[in-house]
Amino acid sequence: MSTITVERKILEKNDIIAGQLREEFNSKGIFVVNPLSSPGAGKTSLIEKLSGCLNKKINISVIVGDLQTDNDAKRIDALGIPVVQIITNGACHLDANLVRDAYKELKGKPELLIIENVGNLVCPAGFDLGEHYKIVLLSTTEGDDKPLKYPVVFRNSSVLLINKTDLLPYVNCSIDTMKKNALSVNPALKIFEISCFTGDGINEFAQWLKDNIHR
């Protein structure tokens, strides 16, 4: 028997494309974030709310992934933001190859590119899309123990947006417990408490984005 040493990462194909995308984004001065969450936690609503704060001052473009429909792209297009919809037909996460193809079609000269991932707290966590930061959204209706149940997505993200704070009086969720659980998995997480419904907290997160765009 002979043993051949291989030592190759199984996701190397994705990582090579992601690296090329990141170089392209850096060369064009585009700051790229990748919001991840369960379905319905508020990724598209976040983009809608951010456009209100930022769009007149910062050029934004969006790539959005869903299994089916272009509902999200229609919502973003209605705001006048250049958007490309990726329909994955069953794939539960975006990968760098899909993003590369979508980026080729994207119009505009963005300073901020938002790559909205497919709603899923598991698989998207493991795929580099060439972004600068992964941002995880967790809503108050989902429960304060989710960072412990899905540690990898919280570990791989740089920002946690706790959304639907307006619903706190009606749900069994402790913000303090949620933050404690999230920080136990990733002590470096930057946490914002927001409501895409009322607009609370959106300006603070928009400021974080602006600070990073101009870095």
Partner 1 sequence: MHETTVAANIIDIVRNSIPSGDLAKIAAIRLKVGLLANVMKDSLLFSFNSLKENTPFPSAILEINEMPLIIKCLDCEKENTGNDFIFCCPACRSTHIEVTGGDELSISEIIINPD
- Report, in Å, the least distance between residue 184 CB and partner 1: 7
- Report, in Å, the least distance between residue 52 CB and partner 1: 35
- Report, in Å, the least distance between residue 9 CB and partner 1: 5
CA distance 84 to 108: 11
Do residues 62 and 30 lie in contact, with contact meaning Cβ atoms separated by under 8 Å?
A: no
> Based on CB atoms, which residue is closest to partner 1, 1 or 211?
1
> Based on CB atoms, which residue is closest to partner 1, 73 or 96?
96
- Beta-strand ranges (E) seen in 38-189 are 60-66, 83-87, 112-116, 133-139, 159-163
Q: Is residue 86 helix, strand or coil?
A: strand
Among 191, 15, 9, CA closest to 100? 15
Binding region for partner 1 (CB under 8 A): 1-13, 91-93, 122-123, 125-126, 148, 151-152, 155, 183-187
> Based on CB atoms, which residue is closest to partner 1, 90 or 169?
90
- Report, in Å, the least distance between residue 4 CB and partner 1: 5
> Based on CB atoms, which residue is closest to partner 1, 53 or 91?
91
> Based on CB atoms, which residue is closest to partner 1, 10 or 56?
10
Identify the burial level of 157 via C-beta atoms within 10 angstroms of its C-beta, where 0-12 means exposed, 13-18 middle and 19 or more buried: buried
Q: Is residue 101 helix, strand or coil?
A: helix
Q: Look-up: residue for tokens 């307006």?
A: 166
- Report, in Å, the least distance between residue 173 CB and partner 1: 21
